[in-house]
Structure 1
Amino acid sequence: MAQQTFLTDENATLDFGASWAQHLRAPCVVYLSGDLGAGKTTFTRGLLRGLGHQGTVKSPTYAIVESYNLPEKTIHHFDLYRFTSPEEWHDAGLDDLFSGSHIALIEWAQQGGEYVPAADLIFTFSTQGSGRVCTVSAHSNHGIWSLQSWQN
């Protein structure tokens, strides 16, 4: 099951992220896929704003993970771009973040190999003309529920 959405600009990507705020139930694993600058962190910023986060949203490229503790759930935003081997996931102790009520947003998930938990949803961003296209695909029953909820 998949859904494709055209995003005209950065504001459309922020709005798209915010539109998912009420459709992702914790626990949930979301892969954010796409080239550098395709909109992964912008989507995350919109999602967090839609969930009520007022502070800054930084790309976790150097920190590996940025966590946002919200009233009903925690959002962990991972960026594995700098991983040189999948074992870095294990070495960094990132499995410890997968307990409780959380949503994990993982950029460059393939860099973590088999250590990265399976995705419920995959958001694939690509540039198209002056905008972006995001294809959302569901990969679990939980992901199917989220995508159907968002579509309705």
Structure 2
Amino acid sequence: MQFLSSDSEASLALGRKLAALLEPGMVVALHGELGAGKTLFCRGIAQGLGYTGAVTSPTFTVAQEYPLQKGRYLYHLDLYRIQDEEAALAFGIDEFLFADYALCLIEWPERITALLQNQQALLTINLYHHSEEERRIELPDQLGERLIGLGLPANIEIVKD
């Protein structure tokens, strides 16, 4: 199911709303080209989970850890600079992927496709440029339906096929 976000604030709001449907132990693979809004969407999810600090792209650090309530965490990984699964394992990605107390958001997940194949709680989100400001956000149909049930934020439209 696809949604059209009119601007960055709408994308943030959609991420905040989506956070209510995400649980610790899940891995969210965020696909999209540079500038598609992956980090912005992660920021919205973090805000929706109650995190009030800054959420920035971990391109140079690879991973950011954000503490949440009740001993839970949000892991935000940016694998843009990781070459392959071997390099990801060398920096300890398995600690992030299999943490049942944390939600793991991954930008550039195509770098570790083989490692994600065995992930039972994997959710794939695709983000696309629609225009300079607009973004098209694609979620699995069942999740999209649940999101609609929560009520869509302003400036978010459902894209009809």
Normalising by the smaller structure, the TM-score range is 0.7 to 0.9
Question: Any unmatched runs of 5+ in structure 1?
Answer: 139-143
Aligned residue pairs: how many?
144
What residue is the counterpart of 2:85 in the other structure?
86
1:8 alignment partner in structure 2: 6
* 2-structure distance, mates of 1:113, 1:121: 13
Per-residue deviation at 1:151? Answer: 2.9
Alpha-carbon distance, 1:83 to partner: 1.2
Gaps of 5+ in 2: 150-161
**Hey, what does 1:149 align to over in structure 2?**
146
Find the counterpart in structure 2 of residue 137 from structure 1: 140
- CA distance in 1 between partners of 2:52 and 2:66 (Å): 11
Structure 1 vs Structure 2 CA RMSD: 1.7
Q: Which residue of 1 aligns with 2:57?
A: 59
Say if 1:123 and 1:135, in contact at 8 Å, map to a contact too: yes
* C-alpha deviation, 1:55, in angstroms: 0.7
Give, in angstroms, the shift of residue 147 of structure 1: 4.4
Between the two proteins, what is the percent identity of the paired residues? 32
TM-score w.r.t. structure 2 length?
A: 0.82
1:54: how far off?
1.0
Greater RCO, CA 8 A, separation 6+: 2
Q: Distance in 2 between the 1:31 and 1:16 partners?
A: 16
User: What is the DSSP-based 3-state SS (H/G/I as helix, E as strand, rest coil) of the residue aligned with 1:20?
Assistant: helix
